[in-house]
Amino acid sequence: MTTFLIYLVLILGIVALVQLVRVSEISNFLNGDDGIIVTDKETNSLRYGLVIFILGYFAFYAWLVVRFWDLLLPPAASVHGESIDLMLNINMVVITIVFVITHLILAYFVFKYAKTKNKKAEFSTHNDKLELLWTAAPTVVLAALIIYGINTWNEAMRSTPEDSINIELYARQFDWTARYAGEDNILGKANFRMINGTNSLGIINSNSIDNRLSAYDVKIADLEASRQDVFPNGVNDEEIVKKINLKKKHRGYVEQLKENSKNEDYSVADDDILVKVEFHIPVNKPVNFQIRSQDVIHSAYMPHFRAQMNAVPGMMTQFYFTPTVTTAEMRSKLGNPEFNYLLYCNKICGTAHYNMQMNIVVESEADYQKWLSEQPKYYTAEK
């Protein structure tokens, strides 16, 4: 209650002050006076004050750069990371140069022309040379930055090397699942209609299709039995009929997948490996990430590798990079034995978005192969 009264008094005090100012303005207006009286001394003080402020602002900006530059981005740990960082640094340098020049010009003109309150600006309709300069200069600079940025992005997103490791990052509220392609390095097909309690990624192979069809048969049979129990005389309940027809429709989609198996080899999914909590990748080996989402838009963000790509429901996106620094090397470099690379979600996807992350372990090829050999294959038939 005391806190409420304090806030109430403060609000009423501000309202009263505003009203007093308005009364003063109205009084001055009625007396034929605008109430604004500025002396030459005050104008001169403002002149020097602005120059001092801008110089102090430059000093504060310089301190911020020196103090916090290392915190702008974590150390790059991928092949394309250095080029991304160089592009960022060039942009920051250009922005800083423009920032300093424009504010120095501002301070110069204020200091030169604001000596007295009677100084009037000269009106000019246009100046061809000046307008050409302030149009052409930004155009050239921005065009150069854009072209450089596009080339840097294209270099990072160029065609995936044939020897890259294929990993799927599967997003759903609020966790990640990594799926490895197995010994054949080919990720098995997946479809959202195959998702159930034991097949969270909707992976397709012959056994998962048969299991899914059997599950639909059981559900349809249960609904038919329920209809017979409730309406033994053959009267149809519209809601139950709708559910039965919907299940049959969904079953038809799965039957189509089974029909497609004559032309597609779904057995490539049999050796896929699913991992949670953390996934491993080898150093100096290109890794291609195929990214999917089950529910809403997420974003696969790996800051140390300068990698980010949206996970969009209903479509596949991808990003590839080659890691260059192992987890152990980065721990030594940072002097932090607890350090881990992390996969984050960089889109606000719900209440537990803040906790949607996964550890990434970068290690030698030998350690990676040893870890991979210890992971169980994901056979949907055994789920």
Q: Is residue 7 a part of any domain in this protein?
A: no
* Mean pLDDT to the nearest integer, 291-299: 92
Residues 372 and 382 in one domain: yes
Query: What average pLDDT does the segment 234-261 reach?
Result: 75
Residue 18 lies in a domain: no
Note whether 124 and 172 are same-domain residues. Answer: no
Domain count, the chain: 3
For the cut 60, the answer to whether the pLDDT of residue 259 exceeds it is: yes
Q: DSSP characters for 299-360?
A: EEEEGGGTEEEEE-BTS-EEEEE-B-S-HHHHHHHHT-TT--EEEEE-S--STTGGG-EEEE
Per residue in 137-171, pLDDT (tens digit) is: 889 999 999 999 998 888 877 777 778 899 999 99
* pLDDT 10s digits, 334-369: 999 999 999 999 999 989 998 999 999 999 999 999
Other CB atoms within 10 A of residue 55 CB? 13
Same-domain pairing of 183 and 205: no
Looking at 136, 156, 176, the residue that finishes a domain is 156
Q: Kindly state whether residue 12 falls inside one of the protein's structural domains.
A: no
C-alpha to C-alpha distances, 101 to 51, 106, 181, nearest whole angstrom: 14, 9, 54
In a domain, 246, yes or no: yes
Same domain, yes or no, for 304 and 212? no
* CATH of residue 343: 2.60.40.420
Q: Which residues contact 87 (CB under 8 A, 6 or more apart)?
A: 148, 149, 152
Locate all alpha helices (DSSP H) within the chain, ordered by sequence.
2-30, 40-68, 81-113, 128-156, 206-230, 238-260, 327-334, 365-373
Q: What pLDDT sits at residue 383?
A: 44
For residues 286 and 158, give the distance between their C-alpha atoms in angstroms, rounded to a whole number. Answer: 12
CA dist 178 and 291 (Å) reads: 9
- Its domain, for residue 209, covers 189-269
56-89 pLDDT, tens digit per residue, is 999 999 999 889 888 888 889 999 888 899 998 9
Block residue for tokens 């800051």: 303
**Is cis: bond before 174, omega within 30 of 0?**
yes
Residues 194 and 173 in one domain: no
State whether 280 and 365 are in the same domain.
yes
11 lies in some domain: no
Do 207 and 280 share a domain, yes or no?
A: no
What DSSP state is assigned to residue 214? H
Is residue 83 a part of any domain in this protein? yes
In a domain? residue 70: yes
**Which of 210, 242, 269 finishes a domain?**
269
- Which of 110, 139, 156 is the last residue in one of the domains? 156
Question: Are 261 and 298 in the same domain?
Answer: no
